[in-house]
Amino acid sequence: MTVKYTDYICLKTGRYQSVGKFGDNIYAYEILTGVTDSPEYYQISMAEFDSFETWSQESISDLKKCMKSLTAPLSAAAT
């Protein structure tokens, strides 16, 4: 399945970040990067989507921890 950035639907927002969906069942984390606030997208689980308000506030103070979590492979149970 080909996914384009124009297919992203933002559902929850935070500071320089949001979570949303591509289609019906692909959850994504969007973070704005660089001086031009270019978006980067990472696939996340539904559980991570549901708990966005909690972990997004924690991650603002520790972006290295956030990026490590986001780039970790999804477990079979989460997909």
Is residue 76's pLDDT more than 70? no
- Three-state SS for the chain is CCCCHHHEEEEEEECCEEEEEECCCEEEEEEEECCCCEEEEEEECHHHHHCHHHHHHHHHCCHHHHHHHHHCCCCCCCC
pLDDT at residue 34, rounded to an integer: 84
More confident residue, 79 or 3: 3
Mean pLDDT of 58-74: 61
Read off the pLDDT of residues 4-47 as tens digits, 9 standing for 90 and up: 889 999 999 988 889 999 988 899 999 888 888 889 898 999 99
- Quick one: which of 45, 42, 39, 10 has its CA closest to 25? 45
Asked whether 28 and 69 are in contact (CB, 8 A), the reply is no
Claim: this prediction has a pTM higher than 0.95: no
> Any idea where the domains of the chain sit in the sequence?
5-70
